[in-house]
Amino acid sequence: MPKQNSVSRHIVLTSHPSRVGPKPIPIKWGASDPMERGPVIATLTKQAHRNVIGTHSGSYAVYRALAVARGVLQSDHRADLTNTSPVEHIGPHPSWFDLEKIVSVDPFGAIVGEVFTSYYEQGYDIRPTIAITKAHINMPELQEAVAKGRLTIDGKIMKSGGDLVVTKAAIEPVWYLPGIAKRFQITEGDLRRALFEQTGGMFPELVTRSDLEVFLPPIGGVTVYILGDIAAITDPNKPLAVRVHDECNGSDVFGSDICTCRPYLVHGIEVCVQTAQEGGAGVIVYCRKEGRALGEVTKFLVYNARKRQEGGDRADAYFERTECVAGVQDMRFQELMPDVLHWLGITRIDRMVSMSNMKYNAITEAGIEIVERIPIPEDLIPQDARVEIEAKKAAGYYTTGEVLDSNGLGSVKGRALTD
């Protein structure tokens, strides 16, 4: 394999604001005119054009680097974006231009090819951070919902065989650092410093380039699944159902019975289908925050600690075990999550398929009304997941049913590791 990208030259350990020569195109976050806002340019082919810290594709940038190292990808490859533009148009919405509402996604991320044509003509390498396509999806559990009469095949939203017609969007995180700091009520300097030092020294530009206010963090993003008409999402006369779901690979894919993740996701989709069939829309927001954003290794360590502790796995010690291992009960920072709802232009959610008080608080504090909260139906809760659900209800999760006291929580027990 030829090492065509290997050339001998000085390695620049970090960059500094340039005092001479052309400055990168400024990003004026929150501006309503996209040309005034400016494009997000994270290209690696022309350093001088970069106006952000980090690069595209989240953590997959590491694989891209491997491909360049091996000589299988030309380091100056530019994406041919022919025919890739969004299949459905989303926005612009007033929330796009509100510095309080969107700080962690680029609202123009899907339509760069449309609003930055003049920059493309000047040779700038601008990549979409959002891609919107259409798909047919199918989950076996929904066929049961059809068989039991809870869902109806209408030939448009739900086709024969249970196929759902969806619009879906993949969204990369784009962080406006002053806005993130404000959201968290910390200084931008403290934020930048922690992001650099507490990752083991990732991206020194976080501290040397205070002139660059936008950061593309190497983390997973968000996928949005939309059922029904896009226009219904923002139509005040039409109902909207939403589930915000944080990734849980063990349940979402493999159906592990220690939590309610997949059953609740499926129920969310069921409510979305019903709402879309009533003329409204349904939205599933799938966030890549495995194991409460602690990752799967930590998650499995916690599972072992829960099941082996004195007295076995039980609801009264549910959160404690995570905190012992991870130092926190949860690391998902729901405060950033409503941004994607604002990108969609959502101002009211009629049916919120979630019991999480953290999600509820984040969404309502972001100025979005929640009319009704829909708990997971009792018969969808796996037996071993009782520990989780009772602990969460006692900690403030929404329920219309009973909340157990500490005695009651102590008696809700999960399976032993040996079973």
Q: Say how many residues touch a copy of itself, by CB under 8 A.
A: 137
Q: Which stretch binds a copy of itself (CB under 8 A): 3-11, 145-153, 272-280, 397-405?
A: 3-11
Residue 392: phi and psi, rounded to 5, are -70, -40
Quote the least distance from Cβ 81 to a copy of itself, whole Å: 7
Tell me if residue 136 falls in helix, strand or coil. strand
Quote the least distance from Cβ 279 to a copy of itself, whole Å: 21
DSSP annotation of 24 reads: P
Residue 380 within binding range of a copy of itself, rule CB under 8 A: no
Q: Name which of residues 204 to 223 contact a copy of itself (CB under 8 A).
A: 204-205, 207-208, 216-221, 223
Is the separation of the CB atoms in 313 and 388 below 8 Å? no
Query: What residue type is 396 in one-letter code?
Result: G
Number of other CB atoms surrounding residue 82 within 10 Å: 7
Is the separation of the CB atoms in 88 and 15 below 8 Å? no
Determine what percent of the chain falls in helix, strand and coil, rounding each to the nearest 5: 40, 15, 50
CA 231 to chain centre: 22
Quote the least distance from Cβ 322 to a copy of itself, whole Å: 11
Residue 134 within binding range of a copy of itself, rule CB under 8 A: yes
* CA–CA dist 7, 4 (Å, integer): 8
Quote the least distance from Cβ 274 to a copy of itself, whole Å: 18
Residue 358 within binding range of a copy of itself, rule CB under 8 A: no
The per-residue DSSP string of 61-97 comes to HHHHHHHHHHTSS-TT-----TT-S-SS-----GGGG
Q: Name which of residues 288 to 307 contact a copy of itself (CB under 8 A).
A: 289-291, 293-305, 307
Q: Name which of residues 227 to 266 contact a copy of itself (CB under 8 A).
A: 249-250, 252-258, 262, 265
Q: Name which of residues 169 to 198 contact a copy of itself (CB under 8 A).
A: 169-172, 184-187, 190-191, 193-198
Closer residue to a copy of itself, CB minimum distance, 62 or 371: 62
For this structure, is 379 an active site residue? no
Quote the least distance from Cβ 265 to a copy of itself, whole Å: 8
Closer residue to a copy of itself, CB minimum distance, 109 or 373: 109
Report the candidate in 50, 59, 358 with the shortest Cα–Cα distance to residue 199. Answer: 59
Count H helices, E strands: the chain?
A: 17, 10
Site string for a copy of itself, 9-48 (x = CB under 8 A): --xxxxx--------------------------x-x----
Question: Which one of the listed residues 37, 292, 332, 373 is annotated catalytic?
Answer: 332
Q: Of 25, 111, 126, 132, which one interacts with a copy of itself (CB under 8 A)?
A: 132
Query: What residue type is 133 in one-letter code?
Result: T
For this structure, is 64 an active site residue? no
Closer residue to a copy of itself, CB minimum distance, 180 or 373: 180
Site string for a copy of itself, 53-92 (x = CB under 8 A): xxxxxxxxxxxxxxxxxxxxxxx-x-xxxxxxxxx-----
DSSP annotation of 172 reads: -
Residue 259: phi and psi, rounded to 5, are -145, 175
* CA–CA dist 388, 383 (Å, integer): 10
Quote the least distance from Cβ 8 to a copy of itself, whole Å: 10
Question: Which one of the listed residues 125, 330, 351, 373 is annotated catalytic?
Answer: 330
Residue 240: phi and psi, rounded to 5, are -130, 130
Report the candidate in 76, 101, 50, 49 with the shortest Cα–Cα distance to residue 342. Answer: 101
Closer residue to a copy of itself, CB minimum distance, 284 or 373: 284
Active site positions, annotated: 330, 332
